Chains A and B, each alone.
Chain A
Amino acid sequence: MVFDFVSWFLGRRDKPRSKDLAKERLKVVLTHDRVDISPQMFEKLRRDLAIACAKYVEIDEAAMSVRLDSQDRRLALIASVPVLGTKATAYSSKRRGKMG
């Protein structure tokens, strides 16, 4: 308690401001309210997205993140998909093999 008072007196602010928590929580909940998509549907979307990406590049599905974001009442799907390697080399060598 004495420490709290001293940090308050010195004007230290390591504690997160409660309004920042309010804003963050609201942003997340409103984005999902607005799009009105069930967690099951969202998981299906994530899975399909992973499958689609994996057709072209080698991805790290476990580390992939997909989320909804909104700005000015417009929604965006933000996906971050770590790429382990391209399949371009494998693709072209196969083609070459066929030609030969």
Chain B
Amino acid sequence: MNGKVMVVTSGKGGVGKTTAVANIGCALARRGKKVALVDADIGLRNLDIVLGLENRIVFDIIHAMEGRCRLRQALIKDKRVQTLYLLPAAQSKDKEAIQPEQMKQLTGELRDQFDYVILDCPAGIERGFKNAIVGADDAIIITTPEVSAVRDADRIVGLLEAEGIEKPKLVINRIRPDMVKRGDMLDIDDVLDILAIDLLGVVPDDESVITSTNKGEPAVLDGASRAGEAFRRIAARLEGEDVPFLSMEAPTFWGRIKRFLGAAR
């Protein structure tokens, strides 16, 4: 197998990187792909709890890199989606514990065993960021329609290009259709006009993301979640399908009722 290594990054923290990794990975696995999710945020382990796998960690990424266990032993197999695996971050070490060469070797090994290797990059542009991107073929940039997040995303585009990762793809997260309609939030075209990179997906601000995170179940597993639907479409696009972007129109009264009936069916 010669899988694809993708890094999910944003520069700014708190824009939804970890949620995006969990959902995109889960959606790809549900399509029958073998997926490894790697938490590259050493010292700030989070992807495990978002996925609901926090109680199953025995070994972590540092154990596997230092040869204290086999890579296979550190990979946690998800019980809901058979082809989904997690390589958890170490909680006791910090980002300096990993060398770029080690990361490159690790992603190389994972690439041989999986269709997709998705790395959850730490916030910032220091050592942790450099380690996370070193073995990646492609990058997905997550941003929200806010000036700070868009500015940081732009900086990341430049840094990725400097490292030879061309044409990163953009996901705009937490769009609020009501605010966009009032002209109080940058819309999709505004963000694309500013960043000038390809759009991979648009995700509405959705409470179901918080409730699903509370439960440790990615939103893509919830058929009624709008955000879940947005992430399923992102997975389809990564697989080369030409699917329309989720409508970001503010829902009308009748639209809400229709959606409720659709979800109940």
Residues of chain A having any CB pair with chain B under 8 Å: 17-20, 22-23, 25-27, 29-30, 33-34, 71-73
Closest to A71 in B: B196
Point out the residues of chain A lying under 8 angstroms from B197, CB to CB: 73
Q: How many residues of B contact A (CB 8 A)?
A: 20
A21 to B190 alpha-carbon distance, docked (Å): 11
Point out the residues of chain A lying under 8 angstroms from B186, CB to CB: 19, 22-23
List 3 tightest A-B contacts by C-beta distance, closest first.
Answer: A17-B183, A72-B196, A73-B196
Residues of chain B having any CB pair with chain A under 8 Å: 146-147, 150-151, 154-155, 157-158, 180, 182-187, 190, 193-194, 196-197
Given contacts A25-B147, A30-B154, contact A18 B183 (CB under 8 A): yes
- Residue contact B194 to A33, C-beta cutoff 8 Å: no
Instruction: Write 27 A-B pairs (CB below 8 A) sorted by A numbering.
Output: A17-B182, A17-B184, A18-B184, A19-B180, A19-B183, A19-B185, A19-B186, A19-B190, A20-B183, A22-B147, A22-B186, A22-B190, A23-B190, A23-B193, A26-B151, A26-B194, A27-B194, A30-B151, A30-B154, A30-B194, A33-B151, A33-B155, A34-B158, A72-B196, A73-B157, A73-B196, A73-B197
Point out the residues of chain A lying under 8 angstroms from B182, CB to CB: 17
- Residue contact B150 to A26, C-beta cutoff 8 Å: yes
A22 to B143 alpha-carbon distance, docked (Å): 15
Point out the residues of chain A lying under 8 angstroms from B158, CB to CB: 34
Q: Give the dominant DSSP class at B's interface.
A: helix
Closest to A74 in B: B196
A18 to B190 alpha-carbon distance, docked (Å): 13
A1 to B51 alpha-carbon distance, docked (Å): 49
- 12 more contacts with CB within 8 A, not counting A22-B186, A34-B154, A72-B196, are A17-B183, A18-B183, A19-B183, A22-B146, A22-B147, A23-B193, A26-B147, A26-B150, A26-B151, A30-B151, A30-B154, A73-B157
Shortest CB-to-CB span from A5 to chain B, Å, is 16
Point out the residues of chain A lying under 8 angstroms from B184, CB to CB: 17-19
- Residue contact B190 to A29, C-beta cutoff 8 Å: no
Given contacts A23-B190, A73-B196, contact A29 B183 (CB under 8 A): no
Point out the residues of chain B lying under 8 angstroms from A25, CB to CB: 147
Closest to B148 in A: A26
Shortest CB-to-CB span from B51 to chain A, Å, is 34
Shortest CB-to-CB span from A64 to chain B, Å, is 28
- Residue contact A33 to B154, C-beta cutoff 8 Å: yes
Closest to B150 in A: A26
A27 to B193 alpha-carbon distance, docked (Å): 9
Closest to B153 in A: A30
